[in-house]
């Protein structure tokens, strides 16, 4: 779990953390959820182009075949209540597709981005910036370890369970209310443009991602 000390730090630094998030970051996310809500994204090229750029798929060294399969899997998960075994199967299917260096790679961050697009209130996003925040509470980034697919998935899943629990506690106990309120005030105009709301778990994603970027930039 994230420490209460880190919660206090985030609330105290909320102005810096929220101002570190660009209007474009919010606008592009709202575009993605709007496009996703329209239906099948396998042939929705504007959605795929923005998603690939926004979430770093273009900088990943992954092949076009991998990306095509990724969007196919994303579409197949629409409106499904996924469990651990199904998510492991998704990860395995993508792991089996070699990258441009002819290597199999475990891409857990992209799996969580897929899950978050399917249900932003249930599945938070894991990435190196978010991991840097949890590291302040003694949780090491599971992607720093090497091993087989099965061992890598087990480590990542245990970490992700801890992360999800932390976000749920923060949401249910309203621990980051000042920071969430600051986020909603700051991006009121962007939200008004699309008349869409952002799930609280996704707002926490933005907050942790932004705070993590600040931490990483100072290392």
Please, is 192 exposed, middle or buried when counting C-beta atoms within 10 Å of its C-beta (0-12, 13-18, 19+)?
exposed
pLDDT means over runs of 10, the chain (219 residues): 94 98 95 96 98 94 96 97 96 96 95 96 96 92 85 95 97 97 93 83 97 89
Q: What is the pLDDT at residue 190?
A: 83
Q: What is the pLDDT at residue 179?
A: 98
- Cβ neighbours of residue 14 closer than 8 Å, sequence gap 6 or more: 178, 179, 182
Q: What is the pLDDT at residue 219?
A: 63
* Cα gap 146→6, rounded to integer Å: 28
Q: What is the pLDDT at residue 151?
A: 95
């Amino acid at each position: 779990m994230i420490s209460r000390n880190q919660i206090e730090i985030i609330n105290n630094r909320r102005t810096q953390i929220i101002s570190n998030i660009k209007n474009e970051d919010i606008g592009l996310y709202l575009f993605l959820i709007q496009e996703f809500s329209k239906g099948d994204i396998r042939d929705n090229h504007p959605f795929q182009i923005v998603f690939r750029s926004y979430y770093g798929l273009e900088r990943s060294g992954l092949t076009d075949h991998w990306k095509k399969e990724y969007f196919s899997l994303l579409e197949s998960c629409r409106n499904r209540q996924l469990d651990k075994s199904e998510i492991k199967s998704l990860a395995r299917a993508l792991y089996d597709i070699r990258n441009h260096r002819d290597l199999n790679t475990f891409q857990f961050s992209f799996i969580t981005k897929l899950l978050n697009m399917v249900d932003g209130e249930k599945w938070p996003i894991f990435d190196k910036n978010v991991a840097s925040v949890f590291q302040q509470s003694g949780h090491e980034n599971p992607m720093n370890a090497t091993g087989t697919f099965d061992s890598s998935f087990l480590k990542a899943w245990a970490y992700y369970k801890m992360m999800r629990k932390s976000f749920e506690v923060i949401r249910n106990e309203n621990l980051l209310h000042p920071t969430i309120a600051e986020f909603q005030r700051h991006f009121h105009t962007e939200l008004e443009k699309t008349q869409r709301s952002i799930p609280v778990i996704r707002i926490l994603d933005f907050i942790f991602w932004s705070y993590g970027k600040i931490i990483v930039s100072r290392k």
